Amino acid sequence: MARKRGGIGAVGSAQARFFHPSANIRAKWPNDHGKRRLAGVVVTGKGIHQVNRKDQLCYEVRIPEIDDGTIFHISCSNFRVDTAAATPFEDELVANAPPPPQVGEWITPTVCARRQQNCSNRKGSWKNYSREVISKMDELAQFRMCFPKKYARNVLVPATNKNIEGDPLCLSEFYVWLGCHFFMACFEGISDRKMWWSSKPVDMFGGAPFRLSQFMSLNRFQRQSHGSHGIHRH
């Protein structure tokens, strides 16, 4: 059910304890202000007020039982509009706007779309390797089987070497650099990549949980990263 829109003249209800200033509420109902629900409350405006030390969007209202001219305010989320206003507040027009015409409907298909288009359910297969051979491979061998080795060797590595300082990059070192990226991607909360090469002892409360210096130096890693970024710039 759609929430009724608030506006000047709207009538609603809420728990008495949510209205402010709360001192007036406690003075009017000293014994049951925590449980009483007030109805017939009239909305007179809307604005930002401080509730529980936070600025919140509130309805400004009049309570019929307290007829001394006091304008109360209450968080919009704690107020239920029972009778909508003739002219809603502008910010509530968009939120509760009716859906556009000709909206599509979700349906449960009774015919398989793949069969309807003559698509057969074939099991995946590798062109150059049998399942028996693949089942005996370790994870690194399977990764290298799926990785575009020729493209890396003939395109990525030569292009990186054009932008890298020091010794030229080889394919095996490219794998190590890529592996460092994969390994770091498995962990969250490491704000600085240099921590993976820190000389400080591993600390369970800060820094990186492991050190990658045994696989590649920080300078070499940064140079290779800079060289690979140069490919995209060109």
Give the 3-state secondary structure of residue 37: strand
Given this model, what pLDDT does residue 22 score? Answer: 92
Residue 97 is predicted with a pLDDT of 58
pLDDT of residue 26: 93
Nearest to 63 by CA among 33, 4, 19: 19
Sort strands 37-51 and 72-75 into parallel, antiparallel or unpaired. unpaired
3-state class (DSSP) for residue 35: coil
Per-residue confidence (pLDDT) for residue 64, from 0 to 100: 93
197 neighbors 212 (Cβ within 8 angstroms):
yes
Residue 1 confidence (pLDDT):
59
Per-residue confidence (pLDDT) for residue 200, from 0 to 100: 83
- Which pLDDT value is given to residue 28? 93
Peptide bond into 21 cis (omega under 30): yes
**Rounded (5°) CA angle 224-155-167:** 35
Q: What is the structure's pLDDT at 138?
A: 93
**For the chain, which residues score pLDDT lower than 50?**
232-234
Domain ranges of the chain: 11-95, 134-233
Q: What is the pLDDT of residue 113?
A: 79
Q: Is the dihedral of CA 15, 62, 94, 57 positive or negative?
A: negative
Please state the φ and ψ torsions of residue 39, each to the nearest 5 degrees. -120, 165
Which pLDDT value is given to residue 103?
65
pLDDT tens digits, one per residue of 31-46: 998 899 999 999 999 9
* 86 to 2, 9, 15, 40, 80: CA distances (angstroms): 16, 8, 24, 16, 16
Cα angle, residue 206 at apex, residues 201 and 208 outer, rounded to 5°? 65
Using DSSP, state whether 83 is helix, strand or coil: strand
pLDDT at 65: 93
**Mean of the per-residue pLDDT values for the chain?**
86
Q: What is the pTM of this model?
A: 0.42
Tokens of 89: 């507040």
Contact 76, 59 (CB under 8 A): yes
Provide the H-helix boundaries in 2-89. Answer: 22-28
Instruction: Give dist(CA 14, CA 79) in Å, integer.
Output: 5
Going from the C-alpha of 38 to that of each of 15, 26, 61, 77, 231, the distances in angstroms are 6, 13, 12, 15, 68
Phi, psi angles (nearest 5°) of residue 72 = -90, 165
